[in-house]
């Protein structure tokens, strides 16, 4: 049996310190109201302590009085208002007394706060209803949650649509939840999401497309089907529709077809359209007049339909991404290198990525850097024409480290510019995977010394572009098979670096002719490795026949390195020397018998 509450001072202090008056009254009433005992507990209590049944009448009346007071006081406490999904309940805080002069302002602020709170509740209900609809469409919890979290604009659309349905007498009696559910079903968003997901679209793309659609959501499916008809692949449907912007869903299919037909009429093949649209979706939503102006811009530079079509296929942004003013300024800047407008057009047809480079951020710093290296305007023009990709790569990340590498291997500073002009593709190769590997091969397998490696690269930078296994290693093994030592081969390469770039079909016939017909020793080839640079039928064989005919002999350097006039003069001089030498021998032979005869007479 419970003792009176006055016997529990600790409990009373706890209630006063931790609970509010209303909650403490409810809590005390619950403690005072003893639970009902069943027959078993009554019997058990009587059996254990029969004296407990005998209560003090005065004590019992006191307990009933306390209980009555607590119940009466607890009835004055505010009851908890039952909540349901979509209900709006705001606790009424104890506000201090305010001045009635600003009462109107405070009431408007309070009203705005209440409306915002109500809107948040409605949006939460709409989000949960939309999530339940996705779950009913057999989508996972995580996927449904991700969808709803990115469909904020569509959730607002659901709230507005459900609120508008209340005006209709048919739906006025329904709750907000029911109206929101009905509106979601009427939009067909669930089957649309499933269809877009089946076409390889991610949920962020699906959410962006749905939020951008201001019309019927079925228009999204029709637009995707039309993009498929122009050869846009499924995995690119989402990015194309997102990058094209909200204007795409507002345009009619007749306008889109007109842009596509215009591209096809100027050289862009039908099977290329899907790829072009994927890379530059702005071409779809571009006005027809602007499309014609851009096409005429390239036609004025001499591009025919074939060049224009391949240019658009290689880099679609060259047509539809940049403004006409920006495109015109880039063409004028390229003409400053001495190129005509037609040459710039051919250059853009070959490398349309130039149109995507910035003048201030890419071209001007590169021009200043090349000028610092000693490259003049003509050299820059050659670099631009031979390898326009140089004007598209980053200066600090790609070009500067390669120039520093040339200086480190021994190329003189004044020769670095000529190396770049002679072989502009050097700047486009990978430093670690290509350039350094070729240099290491030349210093190890080809026998080039560290002192000569800079000279070799400066004389023939095209060696860097040769394949190590299919070209350089094959030639090195061929020369070593002739009996040339590796160190000697390195000296030959230092004298004539192009030696390692010839094909074996060119080297073998010349070497056989040198050894078998001309009967020259290997040392002559070591002293003059440039022998392989001359034509066998055009120079080596005719000049050798002239030497044989005139019974004279030259070293390979004097035989091949001179022009035809100089060679003929050298041959005549050699013939005269030979004739004088032979005549001198004959005269000495004639005088010698006369002298012997005079001695005999004496």
Residue that is written with structure tokens 């030959």 in the block: 492
pLDDT tens digits, 1-45: 444 444 444 434 444 444 444 444 444 444 444 444 444 444 344
Whole-angstrom distance, CA of residue 368 vs CA of residue 372: 6
The helix-helix angle for 218-229 and 189-198 (nearest 10°) equals 20
pLDDT tens digits, 215-248: 788 888 998 899 888 888 878 888 888 888 778 8
Longest dimension (CA), the chain: 194
Whether the predicted pLDDT of 381 surpasses 60: yes
Whole-angstrom distance, CA of residue 484 vs CA of residue 526: 8
Percent of the chain with pLDDT over 90: 36
Q: Which of 175-179, 279-283, 591-595 has the lowest mean pLDDT?
A: 591-595
Whether the predicted pLDDT of 586 surpasses 70: no
Whole-angstrom distance, CA of residue 242 vs CA of residue 519: 76
Question: What's the confidence (pLDDT) of residue 114?
Answer: 81
* Angle at alpha carbon of residue 315, lines to 310 and 320, rounded to 5°: 105
Question: What's the confidence (pLDDT) of residue 371?
Answer: 92
Whole-angstrom distance, CA of residue 279 vs CA of residue 315: 8
Whole-angstrom distance, CA of residue 32 vs CA of residue 45: 19
Residue that is written with structure tokens 């077809």 in the block: 257
Whether the predicted pLDDT of 358 surpasses 80: yes
Residues 241, 250 contacting (CB under 8 angstroms): no
pLDDT tens digits, 328-346: 999 999 999 888 888 988 8
Burial of 163 (0-12, 13-18, 19+ CB in 10 A): middle
Whole-angstrom distance, CA of residue 458 vs CA of residue 444: 18
Total residue length of the chain: 602
Q: Can you list the alpha helix ranges (DSSP code H) found in 251-323?
A: 253-265, 273-279, 282-285, 288-299, 305-314, 317-320
Question: What's the confidence (pLDDT) of residue 585?
Answer: 60
Whether the predicted pLDDT of 367 surpasses 90: yes
* Angle at alpha carbon of residue 311, lines to 306 and 317, rounded to 5°: 145
CA neighbours within 13 Å on the CB side: how many for 374? 12
Q: Cα dihedral sign for 17, 21, 22, 25? A: positive
Residues 412, 458 contacting (CB under 8 angstroms): yes
Q: Grade residue 430 by pLDDT with cuts at 50, 70 and 90.
A: very high
Q: Containing H/E element for 457?
A: helix 453-459
Question: What's the confidence (pLDDT) of residue 145?
Answer: 92
* Angle at alpha carbon of residue 336, lines to 333 and 342, rounded to 5°: 85
DSSP string, 448-495: --TTTHHHHHHH-GGGGGS-IIIIIHHHHHHHHHTT--HHHHHHHHHH
Q: Grade residue 536 by pLDDT with cuts at 50, 70 and 90.
A: very high
Question: What's the confidence (pLDDT) of residue 35?
Answer: 44
Q: How many CB atoms lie within 10 A of CB 234?
A: 13
Q: Cα dihedral sign for 276, 280, 282, 288? A: negative
Residue that is written with structure tokens 């074939």 in the block: 306
Whole-angstrom distance, CA of residue 246 vs CA of residue 122: 27
Question: What's the confidence (pLDDT) of residue 104?
Answer: 55
CA neighbours within 13 Å on the CB side: how many for 351? 16
Check residues 89 and 336 and name the one with the higher pLDDT.
336
pLDDT tens digits, 447-476: 999 999 999 999 999 999 999 999 999 999
pLDDT tens digits, 463-520: 999 999 999 999 999 999 999 999 999 999 999 999 999 999 999 999 999 999 999 9
Residue 127 tokens, joined = 């989000």
Look over the chain and give the mean of its residue pLDDT values, rounded to a whole number: 81
Residues 389, 399 contacting (CB under 8 angstroms): no
CA neighbours within 13 Å on the CB side: how many for 340? 5
Short-list 132, 134, 141, 181, CA closest to 159: 181
Q: Please report, for residues 499, 514, 520, 574, 575, the alpha-carbon distance to residue 543 in angstroms, rounded to integers and kept in the order given.
A: 22, 13, 14, 14, 15
Q: Which of 169-173, 332-336, 531-535 has the lowest mean pLDDT?
A: 169-173
Question: What's the confidence (pLDDT) of residue 503?
Answer: 93
Q: Please report, for residues 99, 317, 333, 468, 594, the alpha-carbon distance to residue 442 in angstroms, rounded to integers and kept in the order given.
A: 94, 42, 40, 10, 67
Q: What is the mean pLDDT of residues 356-363?
A: 90
Question: What's the confidence (pLDDT) of residue 577?
Answer: 87
Short-list 324, 321, 395, 385, CA closest to 356: 321
Residues 415, 391 contacting (CB under 8 angstroms): no
Whether the predicted pLDDT of 443 surpasses 70: yes
Whole-angstrom distance, CA of residue 84 vs CA of residue 138: 26
Residues 513, 540 contacting (CB under 8 angstroms): yes
pLDDT tens digits, 543-573: 999 999 988 888 999 889 888 899 889 989 8
Residue 389 tokens, joined = 């990709």
Check residues 432 and 2 and name the one with the higher pLDDT.
432
């Amino acid at each position: 049996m419970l003792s009176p509450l006055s016997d529990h001072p600790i409990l009373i202090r706890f209630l006063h310190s931790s609970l509010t008056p209303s909650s403490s009254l409810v809590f005390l009433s619950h403690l005072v109201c003893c639970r009902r005992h069943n027959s078993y507990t009554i019997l058990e209590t009587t059996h254990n302590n029969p004296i407990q049944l005998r209560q003090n009448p005065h004590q019992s009346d006191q307990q009933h009085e306390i209980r009555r007071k607590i119940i009466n006081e607890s009835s004055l406490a505010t009851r908890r208002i039952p909540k349901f999904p979509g209900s709006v309940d705001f606790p009424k805080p104890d506000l201090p007394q305010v001045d009635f002069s600003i009462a109107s302002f405070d009431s408007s602020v309070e009203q705005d706060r209440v409306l915002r709170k109500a809107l948040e509740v409605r949006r939460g209900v709409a989000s949960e209803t939309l999530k339940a609809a996705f779950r009913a469409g057999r989508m996972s919890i995580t996927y449904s949650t991700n969808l709803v979290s990115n469909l904020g604009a569509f959730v607002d659309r659901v709230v507005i649509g459900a609120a508008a349905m209340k005006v209709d007498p048919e739906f006025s009696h329904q709750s907000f939840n029911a109206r929101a559910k009905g509106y979601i079903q009427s939009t067909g968003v669930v089957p649309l999401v499933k269809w877009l997901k089946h076409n390889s679209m991610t949920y962020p793309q699906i959410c962006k497309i749905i939020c951008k659609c201001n019309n019927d959501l079925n228009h999204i499916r029709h637009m995707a089907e039309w993009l498929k008809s122009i050869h846009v692949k499924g995995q690119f449907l989402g990015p194309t529709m997102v990058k094209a912007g909200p204007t795409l869903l507002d345009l009619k299919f007749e306008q889109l077809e007109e842009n596509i037909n215009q591209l096809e009429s100027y050289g862009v093949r039908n099977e290329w359209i899907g790829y072009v649209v994927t890379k530059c979706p702005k071409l779809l939503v571009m006005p027809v007049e602007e499309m014609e102006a851009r096409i005429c811009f390239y036609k004025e530079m001499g591009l025919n339909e074939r060049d224009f079509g391949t240019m658009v296929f290689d880099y679609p942004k060259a047509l539809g991404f940049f403004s006409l003013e920006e495109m015109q300024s880039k063409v004028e800047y390229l003409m400053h290198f001495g190129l005509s407008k037609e040459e710039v057009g051919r250059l853009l047809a070959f490398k349309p990525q130039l149109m995507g480079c910035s003048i201030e951020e890419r071209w001007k710093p590169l021009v200043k850097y090349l000028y610092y290296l000693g490259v003049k305007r003509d050299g820059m023009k050659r670099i631009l024409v031979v390898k326009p990709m140089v004007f598209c790569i980053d200066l600090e990340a790609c070009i500067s480290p390669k120039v520093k590498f040339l200086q480190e291997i021994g190329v003189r500073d004044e020769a670095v510019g000529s190396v770049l002009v002679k072989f502009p593709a050097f700047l486009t190769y990978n430093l670690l995977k290509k350039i350094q590997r070729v240099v290491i091969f030349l210093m190890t397998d080809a026998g080039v010394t560290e002192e000569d490696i800079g000279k070799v690269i400066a004389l023939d930078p095209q060696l860097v572009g040769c394949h190590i296994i299919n070209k350089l290693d094959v030639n090195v093994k061929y020369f070593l098979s002739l009996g040339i030592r590796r160190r000697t081969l390195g000296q030959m390469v230092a004298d004539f670096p192009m030696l390692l770039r010839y094909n074996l079909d060119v080297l073998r016939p010349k070497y056989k002719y040198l050894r078998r017909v001309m009967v020259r020793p290997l040392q002559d080839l070591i002293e003059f490795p440039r022998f392989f640079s001359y034509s066998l039928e055009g120079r080596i064989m005719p000049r050798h026949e002239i030497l044989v005919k005139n019974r004279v002999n030259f070293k390979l350097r004097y035989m091949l390195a001179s022009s035809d006039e100089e060679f003929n003069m050298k041959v005549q001089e050699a013939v005269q020397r030979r004739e004088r030498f032979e005549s001198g021998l004959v005269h000495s032979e004639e005088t010698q018998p006369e002298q012997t005869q005079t001695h005999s007479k004496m």
